[in-house]
Amino acid sequence: MDSQDRMVSRRKFVGSLAGLGAGAALACNSGGRQEQAPEFTGPLTGEKLSGEIEVSKPNGLNLIVIISDTFRWDYLHFNGNRRIQTPHLDALAEEGVYFANCYADGLPTIPARRVIHTGRSILPEREKWHPLAEGDVTFAEVLAKAGFTSGFVVDTYHHFKPGMNFHRGFNSWTWVRGQESDPYVSGPHGSVNPADYTPEHLLNDNFGKRITQYVLNTGGRKSQDDYFCARSTLEAARWLEENKDNDGPFMLFIDMFDPHEPWDAPPEFQKIYRREYPLERYIFGYGVDHQDVLEEDIPLLIDLYSAEVTFMDYCIGRLIERVKRLGLWENTVIAFSTDHGTHLGEQGCIQKQPKLLNSCVARVPLIIRHPDPAFKGKRIDGLTSHLDFMPTFLNLLGVEGYTGMDGLNMWDLVAGLKTELRPQAVTGFKDFGSVHSLKWHYFRNIWEEDPGLGPALYDLEKDPGEQQNVAADHPQVVGEMKSILEREFKVSLA
C-alpha cells in the first residue's frame, strides 16, 4: 500500500506527530533524575516589581484557580454533552458565570501557561515553548505585592522542567510527581510489559518506553486517592487548611494534567462509559503513531478520555466541598479552565494537532464563580481569551495599579458595562494560526508551506461542528481574516 492509499484507507485515521507539543521529550537525562532542580525563588516581588509600580489594597476576597490540561469545552454535561457526567462542574457553573466563547492565545501546554500567568500575548513568536522571560511579571508576583499569600499545587510536570520556574513569586509550591514521562521512578524497567497495557497494533518502541515509565511512576497506587488529580486536590485542600487563617487574602493556583493523556482513570470511572475494555488496564497516550489508530479504536478512546474527565470532575467536587467545610465559600472566587482541547477523530485527527486548528482544540471552557449571588447562573457569549484571565482576576480581587498586560477585564461583560470585549480572538499553535469571531472561524498555516487541513473557513452559525470549509464562497471574509493574522503574527501571507 503506498502512502496515498494509506491516507485514504477506510480503516486508518491519519495524524501528524507535529501536534505532540506537550508530549515532547523531557529536557532530562534518561537515568531517572532531573538535570536541574526547580530553583528556589521565594517571594520575588521586591525584585520583579519596581518601586514605581503600586497596587491597591485588595477587597478581601480569596481566589482559587483550577487549570486542567486538554479539557474539551464540549465535554461538559451542562454545555450540551448529555453523555458525559460532570455534575460538580455543572454545579459550579450554575453557581457562577460561564464564558461560552473563550479561546487560547498560544498553544500548547507551556505557551498557554505563559499567557495565563502574565496576561501577555505570545502570538508573534514562532517557537513558543520556552520559560517565562526574565522581564515577565507574573500574577503571583503582583498579588504578593498586594499582600496575598499564594500557593502553587501542580502535577503538570512541564512547569518544572529545567529553567521553567513557573512557581516564582508563590509563597509555597508543591509538585506532585510522576505524570506521563516524568523520570520519577527509575526501575525496574524489566518488570513492565507494555503489551499488557495497549493493543499490539498501537505498540512501537517509543510508546513502549513511555508506557514503561508511566507504569513505574504509578506502581504504588492502592486507591483513587493515589491518582494524580486526586493527589493534587488533596494537596490543595491541605494548603487551604494550613493557610485559611493567615493575615490577608490568599490565592491558590492548582494546575492538573488530567484529562491529558495517558488516559488511565480508575476502573470504576472507566466503567461508566464502557463495561469491558480489551485489556484489564488499557493505557493510551503520546508515542502512538497516529497512522496506526484504527477507525474502530476511536469510540474506545473517547470512552477513556470521558472517564478521565468525569474522574477529574469528581476530584474537583471533593475540593469544593472542602472549601465549603472550611468556611471559605462565601469569600472566595473559584475559576476553572484549561489550556486547550484535543481531537477525538475529527477529520481523522487524534490528539491535538495544529494542522486542524479548530474549536475542539482552540476553544476552552471557563467558569468563574463569584460569592455575590447577583452573578449566579450567568452565561456570557462575548469573545474572551486566555489573555483576559489575569486582568479579570486582579479586578475581582480589587487589585489595581498593574497595567503591564495585553488582556482585558472580562467582568465588564458580566456587569453589563460592555456588550463586546473584543471583535475577534486569535490563537497560535506551532506553524498555524486561527481567527475566531462569533460568526466565523478561519485557520491556516502561518510560516510553512504545508497547509495541513487548511486554509479553512467555517460558518459557525450554520455549521457549529466545523465540518464544511466555505473559504471559496467567501473571499472577502477570508481576506479580512488573513489581514488579522498578518497583524497579530507580524507576517505577510500570500
Task: List the Cα angle 119/125/127 in 5-degree steps.
Answer: 115
Closest by CA to 414, choosing from 451, 368, 458, is 368
Closest by CA to 98, choosing from 457, 377, 437, is 377
Residue 246 · residue 147 · CB < 8 Å: no
Task: Note the pLDDT tens digit of each residue in 306-317.
Answer: 999 999 999 999
pLDDT at 292: 97
pLDDT at 184: 96
Q: Where are the beta strands (DSSP E) in 314-373?
A: 332-338, 363-364, 366-369
State the 10-residue block means of pLDDT for the chain, 494 residues long: 36 34 31 40 50 75 98 97 98 98 98 98 93 91 94 96 90 96 95 97 97 97 97 98 96 98 98 96 96 97 98 98 98 98 96 97 98 97 98 96 95 97 97 98 95 97 96 98 97 93
Cα 239 → chain centroid: 22
* Cell output for 164: 521553567
* Cell output for 285: 497516550
pLDDT at 215: 98
Give me the domains of the chain, ranges plus CATH numbers: 3-421 (3.40.720.10), 431-494 (3.30.1120.10)
pLDDT at 133: 87
**Helix/strand/coil percentages in the chain, nearest 5:** 35, 15, 50
Give me the residue label for grid cell 456587569: 415
